[in-house]
Amino acid sequence: MTGVSFESILFERCEGFDTTPEEPSFFGDLHLDKVVSSLVAGREEYTLPPYFYRPLHDVEAVRYRHHVLRDLERDSLLAGVREFARGMHRIRECLALAGKLHYERQQQRWFLESAAV
């Protein structure tokens, strides 16, 4: 295996990455706020809107994104990504439940459940 490390599906390089961008002022004028809302509906737990606020400024970033999207057209890869996402969702559910419980053993049980996913 090579020494290549993975950082992000969306960005080839993540240095200087702003994780809390604000909605651009023009989004409302162009009704892009409504477009983004419809795209992320049902996925609120992932806090996706900020990713739509970040423009790509260079051709290489666009190429990288297109390459990733082409890869995701492969059914086997997409199935793996979906399975990973389902697992992460289950982990978040278990940890959220553990956080709501009052008895230590119950909390531990749900923490272990999340680790087993």
Instruction: Give the per-residue pLDDT at 2.
Output: 57
Of the candidate ranges 8-12, 36-40, 54-58, 104-108, the one whose mean pLDDT is the lowest? 8-12
62, 20, 27, 67: CA torsion to nearest 10:
20
Tell me which H or E stretch contains 63: helix 59-71
Contact in structure between 65 and 59 (CB atoms under 8 Å): no
CB 98 within 8 A of CB 115: no
pTM: 0.70
- Hey, where are the domains in the chain? 10-55, 84-117
Q: What is the pLDDT of residue 5?
A: 64
Percent of the chain with pLDDT over 70: 90
pLDDT tens-digit map of 61-102: 899 999 999 999 999 999 999 999 999 999 999 999 999 999
